[in-house]
Amino acid sequence: MNRPTPIVASPEQRAFSPDEVATMLGIGRRSVFSLLKDGELGSKKIGGSRRIFLSDLEDYLGEERAHSLVREINGDEEESANDEDEEDPKG
């Protein structure tokens, strides 16, 4: 029997709920909706839900900070910390 191939989304395709973004930014849900309403933070309406994409977070926070927050919520902090601990090969 053929099983369907699972779909794996890349981090760039990840969409976050306003609640997830509020947690990532350390602000309240109302503050996230204020950012959305004021146009400071982009989003898309998908069905009946509002979703904030990684590209929206990059535009708002900058690429490095947005990726850092996504790594934190994905539990990849340890990997990024190990990268920072490596010594410069030039000495």
| pLDDT average, residue stretch 70-81 | 63
- pLDDT digit string (tens) for 22-48? 999 999 999 999 999 999 999 999 999
For the chain, the average pLDDT equals: 80
Which has more confidence, 32 or 9? 32
Q: Indicate the residue type of 56.
A: D
Contacts 24+ apart (CB under 8 A), 42-51: 43/18, 44/15, 46/15, 49/17, 50/17, 50/18, 51/15, 51/16, 51/17
Residues 37, 2: Cα–Cα separation, whole Å: 46
Instruction: For the full predicted model, state whether its pTM sits above 0.75.
Output: no
Cβ(61)–Cβ(55) under 8 Å? no
| pLDDT average, residue stretch 38-64 | 95
The DSSP element (H or E) to which 15 belongs, if any, is: strand 15-16
- pLDDT at position 81 is 46
